[in-house]
Amino acid sequence: MLKGKALVKGCTIGIIAPSSPENKDIINEKINQFSSLGFNIKLGKHIYNSHGYLAGYDQERAIDITDMFLDPSIDGIVCFRGGYGSIRTLPYIDPKVIKRNPKFFCGYSDITIMLNYFTKLGLITFHGPMINSDFSNEETLESFLSVSSNCSNITYDLNEYNDISYINPNSFCGKIVGGNLSVICSSIGTCFEINTKNSILLIEEVNESPYAIDRMLTQLLYGGKLTSCRGIIMGSFTGCDLPDYSRSLTLKEIILDRLEILDIPIITGFPFGHSYPNITIPIGCNAHFSYEYKKLKILGTCLT
């Protein structure tokens, strides 16, 4: 696997906007907040651009991504925000650039497609907060700084989290992949389709009705994407609840109905995704979960 450099204070972080645009004042405010963590900052040339619901034309956003990987002064790359559009940049990115210039690369939500595509190229990436995230949340900040600077083994102690529950409880191991559910589903049938074989599949979502969660899980189920997993870890499902369930299944009922039959170990309530804390998790590396000790251990190092 290809590994980026561990980040410490004084490192230079490249900031790009591969998906949706944002107001310039908000961009500047969030960048100032992030730079207060002790990092030097370098902005993509087109970070302030806007083209409808996209942060500039596809080629422009792809240029910023490519430039950040090629620039030897950049130690790591963090996306500004998600939204939609990162998949449209991928045809314009030369895979050899990623392979020859491995770097810390972090984001979530719409960035899910990039995290998993770069992993296919051999690069370990990171599902974690972006520049527009709330780094005043202590657990989110602590996890990001700890994981991004860690050259040794990483262990997540699930005993520390209050909302964890288990379906088909057992230990498991595999390669961590996944992220946002709708992005995972939208990749199916494309050349950027996520590979879930022998994986630990991360799933999180935001602002989708329960029936839509059902539909997407059913698509993954009937498409064979779930039966090939070694384990599934469900994160935050923010804004996916309803005030009245008289004509709807609950999220818990949907997960049990769609996933329990797989007889695959499933963890729910892991704190990652569109809520806080949003812990940072490496994508593309092997991990082992011990049900006896309730600990998820990354096997090997993710950064150099």
Cα 100 from Cα 33, distance rounded (Å) = 31
Cis peptide before 277 (omega within 30 of 0): yes
DSSP string, 122-166: TB-EEE---TTS-TTSHHHHHHHHHHHT--S--EEEGGG-TT-EE
112 near 188, Cβ under 8 Å? Answer: no
* Candidate list 133, 143, 236, 274, residue with the active-site label: 274
Q: List the structure tokens of 30.
A: 């969030």
Q: Which residue in the list 19, 109, 133, 187 is annotated as catalytic?
A: 109
Cα–Cα distances in angstroms (integers) from residue 63 to residues 52, 76, 99, 104, in the given order: 18, 16, 16, 18
- The burial of 169, by beta-carbon neighbours within 10 Å (0-12 exposed, 13-18 middle, 19 or more buried), is given as exposed
**Quick check: is 274 catalytic?**
yes
- DSSP class of residue 86 equals G
Q: How far apart are CA 127 and CA 261, in angstroms?
A: 28
* Identified catalytic residue from 204, 205, 208, 236: 204
Closest alpha carbon to 19 in 76, 90, 75, 72: 90
The verdict on whether 109 is a catalytic residue reads: yes
Give the DSSP per-residue string, 238-257. Answer: ET---S--TTS--HHHHHHH
Measured distance CA(113)–CA(104) in Å, rounded: 16
Which amino acids are annotated catalytic?
A: 109, 204, 274
